[in-house]
Structure 1
């Protein structure tokens, strides 16, 4: 759940989504859900010469199962907050493991 919450903080930021079929799309993140289904606005294809049929698409819904990577803008990532949340989640998992 940590990463779902993290991605929600990036709404309205520009991201690049690389798909499993080698297509990379750049656009403004409008929504994301727990399955990594992504809605992008103002979409552009990174290699528009290779994928010209996608150049006319401006808004896109991407199913999470086809996503390989999501490239994030470095300035939008609060690394201290992310590290702290990761530590808390690891501690919680360790505590659960000790209990049962």
Structure 2
């Protein structure tokens, strides 16, 4: 996935400076301001809070995180900030790219 080709990472880049909630594969949910996303879907969040802070008190003092894309289960997006046409296009392109890789 390269920058500017209509990829999923390009879609996420349109949400920079919006609040998102990232759900990790270990069930931790982290809410924060999206600061960056790269082609591997690694995510940087600022001003974070953990959704179940009593369950994860060791994260209460953390304010900024870098999340490796491979540990992300879901990214919950603000509905008002989502360009659905761009999301649909990015999804189609990703599916076509994956189908092309499987066919080779």
TM-score bin (small chain) = 0.7 to 0.9
In structure 2, runs of 5+ residues without a counterpart are 2-6
In structure 1, runs of 5+ residues without a counterpart are none
The match for 2:63 among 58, 64, 84 is 58
* 1:7 equivalent in alignment to 2:12: yes
Normalising by structure 2, we get a TM-score of 0.79
Residues 66 and 85 of structure 1: CA distance in aligned 2, closer, same or farther (over 3 Å): closer
Q: Quote the Cα distance in structure 2 between the aligned partners of 1:86 and 1:70.
A: 15
Counterpart in 2 of 1:69? 74
* 1:39 equivalent in alignment to 2:44: yes
Aligned residues: 93
Q: 1:15, CA displacement in angstroms?
A: 0.3
Normalising by structure 1, we get a TM-score of 0.82
Structure 1 stretches of 4+ with a deviation exceeding 2 A read: 80-87
- Structure with larger Rg: 1
- Measured on the aligned residues, the alpha-carbon RMSD in Å equals 2.0
Q: 1:23, CA displacement in angstroms?
A: 0.3
Deviations 1:19-68 (A, max 9, x none): 01110000000000011110000000000010011011000111111111
Answer whether contact 2:15 2:34 (CA < 8 A) is retained: yes
Q: Quote the Cα distance in structure 1 between the aligned partners of 2:88 and 2:23.
A: 24
Answer whether contact 2:8 2:91 (CA < 8 A) is retained: no
